[in-house]
Amino acid sequence: PTTLAEASPFPVGFAINPSPMQNNARYRQTVTQEASSITADLAMKPSRISPQKGVFNFEGADYLVDFARSQKKRVHGHTLVWYINTSPEWLKQLRDSTELETTLREYIQTVGTHFKGKVASWDVVNEAFDNNQGAIRRDSVDKSGRTLFNVGKILGNDYVARMFQYAHKADPGARLFYNDYGQETIPAKLNAIVAMATDFQQRGIPIHGLGLQMHISIDTPDAGIETAIRKLADTGLLIHISELDVAMNPGKKKDFIATPALIEQQYQKYKFVVSTYKKVVPVSQQFGITFWGVDDGTSWIPGHCQCTDYALPFDAQFARKRAYQGFLDGL
Ligand code: XIL
């Protein structure tokens, strides 16, 4: 095998954006050759699809979907409901529960119908749980004072279940996922997600899969990674490692240099994630592994950490890194 897609027994791919797909030949070529599945990084987020109330703009998302279909790649939709800043301002301002519920139902119906039969799966709700008690988020502002989309407080904890019902109605063929981060390091959150999934299964709420974002670092303990994958897989649902990247500079050092020792640690971490996924998740539940980005030049991590980092399998020149080999060696 000469690419990730050829080597991997389960789907593998990247979160991608229309602009580098159109403007950077090496980015496009890497995606075309290495991926069997893609996720939209930004183009399917509510802020892009519906920047104003009643306005729907599918241009960027359709471009990615058309590319994927022409190349026979799977498309994973991300995300219908998310509490944070990539929800549009107009939506975050809604305070009346009936109006908010109706708006979200109509949004899901419109978007789900638009992509019906073209998007294999959706992250229906992203990051609904907090990092402390593993409770449904009810905060109105974040640490920096930004207004959050306080959907849990306005609609009540069971809003998550209703969003899945709306998504299922819009596209009965789509596999529906709950997606979240930090499950490998926050046991309360992991347990809350497992409990919610089990409850949904018992109540007949249409959930088919669980997404582990896995924005991890070379310091993330292996034991937590394995426990998270195992506990999620025990639900019997599809398991998607949905946003994988492995930061090398978790301390956000100013003068960061990727030493050979750190490169080796990143190789080992990628290898561990892939081998654990393959070992622990039954084949029928292996939905696949998605990197959050393609290359270190366009990765979201430096902007997020305000630091230098190299978290992805390709470097900024699209050369395969040791991290890439780590994925292959984990298979
Ligand atoms: C990120 C994008 O990559 C950034 O460009 C954007 O500024 C913020 O969102 N968890 C998720 C993804 O579910 O949607 C996030 O993507 C990364 C964290």
| Ligand 1, pocket-test mutation among 19, 41, 294, most atoms within 8 A of CB | 41
Q: Domain span at residue 194?
A: 4-330
Nearest in space to 314 (alpha carbons), one of 9, 72, 35: 35
Q: CB neighbours of 79 closer than 8 A, spacing ≥ 6? A: 44, 45, 46, 122, 123, 124, 125, 126, 179
pLDDT at 36 over 90: yes
Question: What pLDDT, on a 0 to 100 scale, did the predictor assign at position 85?
Answer: 64
In the chain, the percentage of residues whose pLDDT exceeds 90 is 90
Question: What pLDDT, on a 0 to 100 scale, did the predictor assign at position 305?
Answer: 94
Q: Pick the catalytic residue from 34, 127, 184, 243.
A: 243
pLDDT at 37 over 70: yes
216: domain CATH number is 3.20.20.80
Residues 259-283: what's their mean pLDDT? 98
Residues 266-292: what's their mean pLDDT? 99
CB 305 near ligand 1, within 6 Å: no
**For the chain, what is the domain count?**
1
Range of weakest confidence among 135-139, 157-161, 202-206, 301-305: 135-139
Residue nearest atom 8 in ligand 1 by C-alpha distance? 86
Task: Read off the pLDDT band of 317 (50, 70, 90).
Answer: very high
pLDDT at 84 over 80: no
Task: Read off the pLDDT band of 226 (50, 70, 90).
Answer: very high
Residues 162-186: what's their mean pLDDT? 98
Range of weakest confidence among 54-68, 86-100, 169-183, 192-206: 86-100
Range of weakest confidence among 81-95, 119-133, 194-208, 263-277: 81-95
| Ligand 1, pocket-test mutation among 14, 19, 38, 42, most atoms within 8 A of CB | 42
- Where b means 16+ CB within 10 Å and e means fewer, 299-311 reads bbbbeebebbbbb
CB 213 near ligand 1, within 6 Å: yes
Q: Give pTM, 2 decimals.
A: 0.97
Q: CB neighbours of 192 closer than 8 A, spacing ≥ 6? A: 129, 133, 134, 135
Task: Read off the pLDDT band of 145 (50, 70, 90).
Answer: confident
Q: CB neighbours of 229 closer than 8 A, spacing ≥ 6? A: 212, 239, 276, 277, 280, 281
Stretch (H or E) spanning 244: strand 238-247
